[in-house]
Amino acid sequence: MRPESSTCQQCGEYWPEALRKRGGICMNCADTSHEKIGQCSICGRKDAPSENHHVASQDQRPSFVVRICLNCHAIVTKRQVTQWDPSWRTEQHPIRCIVQGMLDLLCLWWERNPAVAALSDMWRLILRAGIEIAGCLCLVGWDFA
């Protein structure tokens, strides 16, 4: 769980990357122009405005996309831009970017989706092992408590 610095006044969203700089609300609550999805596959929010996220970056694999809510998109995009090895911007690393992008989505789902709490201890251990293996391969990992 992330520390709360401020929250959306309408829905309680607390991830800093999902909050607008002004207005005290998140990207999802502020938006009226994006197409809505039935449910975000990352956080589980229903009837949320959405965008396509380029899992491996638009430069590396432009057709590999997933439609997620604006809040999740803002969070995972910020991570892609600030945490990935900068070589993805200037060199072709499609496999590394696909694996890193999927790891980021899996970790974000792990932190944000209420369904994760219902997973058995064994499935949690298996997911954690996958994250540890990715770390051994020098991919950018996430810290979980």
- Using an 8 Å Cβ cutoff, are 8 and 45 in contact? no
Q: Sign (positive/negative) of CA torsion 80, 86, 87, 89?
A: positive
Q: What is the pLDDT, as a whole number, of residue 101?
A: 93
The two three-digit tokens of residue 42, written as one number: 């990352």
The series of mean pLDDT values per 10 residues for the chain, 145 residues long, is: 70 93 90 94 95 93 95 96 86 88 90 81 80 76 58
- pTM for the whole thing? 0.82
Domain boundaries, the chain: 33-136
Q: For residue 127, which of 115, 17, 138 has the smallest C-alpha distance? A: 115
Q: What is the pLDDT, as a whole number, of residue 3?
A: 46
Give the other-Cβ count within 10 Å of 111's Cβ: 16
Q: What is the pLDDT, as a whole number, of residue 142?
A: 62
